[in-house]
Structure 1
């Protein structure tokens, strides 16, 4: 298991203290441990405090009962001079050993939980990490959108990433990030999670069709933007595979939309004629690179699509569902149905 920043603190805590104390650190009281029996007390241990100083302060605040007993327990634990300064949220009437265990670890770090939704672009990931994790905006954006060469030496799948972008590989999940974690460490965390999830994929079908992991990520990134329902990911994936096999241009609006200004909700004929590496109306095959950061369901569908002869699909349900067809005539009929459904 890879550990970064604040995650390491929790791992150390699990190895160093008892189960009840760890539950307290995670704000989950355990009825069998003294920490849950008293009133909360905020304790500030100043740098340079001796064991005797700490003991007197804890007794004055009612956290422990006796200076002598606390100092004796510290001595027995070979912890004299090792108790760490800082701020602690403790309770009255705590067990001496529990307090010592906590102070040997040191004050619990401050964390923020940041959720990256499936289908976010690299720019959106950078913006959210800046807003919620306190990352420096310019550096976070730089790493996410053009930092691939800096990580490629240890992550070969990033070699040749189009535009040097990490698009597609910043895995969507909820991350617990220690305040002060560097921008590089945040990106490493997202890439590590991608690798862990990608390792579960069976790429045999994709490879039999001449596709590699980067291609699967690109297809998965399209699924996130082309399908509103995750249960339709395998069907949309089958359309992409079937078109690639014919060969037939993908002609997918989501790939063109990727290059449009943020907030664009529809495309004009002029937009479809814009010559970019992502315009699958003009160019054969997959776009130059991923167009979003896909989750595991999309990656699985991209690696192993449904077995169909579908070549077309169109949104026909107000719940986001689509109608899939094998022929163009069937597609036109479904398109007329779609226009009727959404004309109201």
Structure 2
């Protein structure tokens, strides 16, 4: 009987120790206020103590001795390799990862230019061997990303058009289409939320992005972005058709320098030569400069503009002056 109670007492003490140790481990993990993510290399034949020291040096753990005890208590076998680790991982997650001997592939650096459409983004990512183009486009329209900004029209071509922010990203091969899209959406939120307080118009956030996408496609000179946004805003206020060639080109399978009469007669809610107001969605991914232009357009009386050969524009207040500008440009081409 005495031996029975001794055994019970030892088990109880051991249980209390394990629970206390676990609580201390949790406490120590919570002390990492700033989450650190980094790639850590564990060389061949590294002792548990040295592994713990490497993790501490890289900011992944706070106390190497508690980590060493946890590894030995659970009999984990750490394998050499390179691991992508985070300071918010639990000891269990760390040990499970360190058992795999995982060596991450080199990230691919991808630059998405301003003005790219969802289709162009998908095509570029596929050309780099990172995704399947069709799966990417399907994910854009089918997966529920719980994204803050949404289009209301059922005639939208791609639900996330305009929100996949143009920037340079580092993407590891094997990253899912969904995770790449999330990364680009998060970047959009990071940029847009930092500048949206500059808005001077009555447009809501989604309308602002749509306008910015048109500005992105129409403007070739940074100095003209605000003025072009001002022209379109003036036309919206007057309930005049925007007549943007860029919105028609969005409907075409290939780029055209000059639209035909047949092109501008395409029946579509995106054709601003036929439909008043903004199209149902953005027509590309606008960059920060175009977003700023749409948030705070230049105050102007201009209602028209026409492109010159160098990409700049002649702006006009009346249709008569607009026709003269067109004639001036045509004569300059001869």
TM-score scaled by length of structure 1: 0.68
Measure the CA separation in 2 of the matches of 1:44 and 1:131: 35
2:170 is aligned to 176
- Provide closer, same or farther for how the CA distance between residues 170 and 288 of structure 1 changes in structure 2, counting only shifts above 3 A: same
- Provide closer, same or farther for how the CA distance between residues 83 and 323 of structure 1 changes in structure 2, counting only shifts above 3 A: same
The answer to whether the aligner puts 1:268 opposite 2:260 as a matched pair is yes
2:139 is aligned to 143
CA RMSD of aligned residues (A): 3.1
Unaligned stretches of 5+ residues in structure 2? 1-34, 51-63, 84-97
Shift of 1:179: 1.8
Contact 2:151 2:281 in 1 (8 A): no
Which of 192, 195, 212 is 1:198 aligned to? 192
2:122 is aligned to 126
Contact 1:83 1:106 in 2 (8 A): no
Which of 218, 241, 244 is 1:249 aligned to? 241
Unaligned stretches of 5+ residues in structure 1? 1-9, 18-24, 26-42, 56-73, 89-102
Measure the CA separation in 2 of the matches of 1:281 and 1:203: 30
1:304 is aligned to 296
Contact 1:133 1:177 in 2 (8 A): no
Indicate the SS of the match to 2:276.
Answer: coil
Measure the CA separation in 1 of the matches of 2:274 and 2:135: 34
Indicate the SS of the match to 2:144.
Answer: helix
Measure the CA separation in 2 of the matches of 1:287 and 1:133: 33
Indicate the SS of the match to 2:262.
Answer: helix
2:24 is aligned to none
Deviation per residue, 1:10-32 (Å, 9 max, x gap): 94239xx8xxxxxxx9xxxxxxx
Shift of 1:107: 4.4
Indicate the SS of the match to 1:282.
Answer: coil
Q: Which has the larger radius of gyration?
A: 2
2:220 is aligned to 228
1:12 is aligned to 37
Which of 94, 104, 110 is 2:106 aligned to? 110
Contact 2:151 2:280 in 1 (8 A): no
Shift of 1:333: 1.8
Moved more, 303-312 or 104-113: 104-113
TM-score scaled by length of structure 2: 0.70
Contact 1:249 1:283 in 2 (8 A): yes
